[in-house]
Amino acid sequence: MSILSSNLIRWHKKSGRKDLPWQIDTNPYKVWISEVMLQQTQVQTVIPYFLKFIGKFPDIDSLANSNENEVLSYWSGLGYYSRGRNLFKAAKIIQKEFSSTMPSCLEELESLPGIGKSTAGAIRSLGFKLKAPILDGNAKRVLVRYFKIEDPIDLNKTSIELWKIAENNLPNKECDIYTQAIMDVGSLICKRRNPNCPECPLKRKCLANKENIQNTLPNRSPKKAKPVKKLYWLILQNKNGELLLENRKSKGVWKGLWTFIGFEESNSRLRYQEKLPKDYKILEEGIKTQHVFTHYKLDIDTISIELNKDFQNLDNNKAWFNSDELKGIGLPAPVSKFLEKIK
């Protein structure tokens, strides 16, 4: 056992987190759901979503026997909706090909939609208590600073080096404790900004700490400016307070979710607006918001209209929803935020 792993295990037994919802009566399924939710999302944010999701889908069969729209409604607000869709797809495969039992083999885990190398390692280690490396953001930051890896972490050669380090430092026993420990140290102590080095169990051997360069690591390649896309929303409300939404059937980040009627060009929105019953009332217009995705920014321009007459000229992908019905469908974060404002 390396000094790194022994120090982490010793620290976790004394100070690590042991009462998170997915650690109580844990199993590989709970680990899987939590690990996917925790990707790029903080623990405290994930907890209520996890409890709600597990309450509805307590096992693989309940998830596999559901439908994509229902799964996305319980994922709504977390973002990265492809992850919710992949959970549903993977559950169907596990039910059919693995008799509803989570596989423990890394290769089989990585063959499932949405499960990469690090998530597979976490499921095997935390869920099955079997030896497997992980390299999530927290573990990566700990290793980069401990071994003073100065090359940008987004380079392929750096990734290969870090995976070798992760594998070489795995203990032969208590691998689950080690895995949770390196994630906890990365999350609670070895933070991205202002790491709390005096409280770190690795401080004596950490090369970045010795040279006082912990705040400069990890390094990344220079960022490119994110492109900006435009979206023009038409928010329609009838006299009953219902909202008209459309289901995104096409490919894209919001596929399968319900959104306000959207257009890529303002003229297209205007042409649709001209088809509405003439005595409508404009509630708000010119309201602009921005939503940031991983690879681009989305500028949203909004017109909110109240209709005085029924509008039945609807495509198959559009429907009216009251406030109670909105709670049971999948909504992207910008739509949810707007609905919170008008409550």
Query: Catalytic residue numbers?
Result: 35
Measure the CA–CA gap between 102 and 197, rounded to whole angstroms. Answer: 38
Tokens 């430092």, residue located: 169
- Describe the crossing of helices 3-15 and 175-188 by its angle, rounded to 10 degrees: 80
Name the helix (H) or strand (E) containing 234: strand 228-237
Q: Cα 40–45–50 angle (5° rounding)?
A: 95
Residue 69: partners with Cβ closer than 8 Å, 6 or more residues away: 256, 329, 330
Which are the contacts of 42, defined by CB distance < 8 A and separation ≥ 6?
none
Residue that is written with structure tokens 């509405």 in the block: 276
CA distance readout (Å), 11 to 189, 200, 232:
12, 9, 52
CA–CA gap between residue 283 and residue 303 (Å, rounded): 8
- Residue in this structure with the two tokens 């992207």, named with its chain if needed: 332
Cα–Cα distance for residue pair 117/135, rounded to 1 Å: 8
Buried b (16+ CB within 10 A) or exposed e, 113-131: ebbebbbbbbbbbbbbeeb
Q: Which residue shows structure tokens 């257009």?
A: 263
Say if residue 221 is exposed, middle or buried (CB neighbours under 10 Å; 0-12, 13-18, 19+): exposed
Kindly report the CA angle at 66 between 60 and 71, in degrees rounded to 5?
90
* Angle in degrees, 0-180, between the axes of helices 68-75 and 43-56, rounded to the nearest 10: 150
Coil, strand or helix at 129: coil
Q: Tokens 């309940």 label which residue?
A: 62
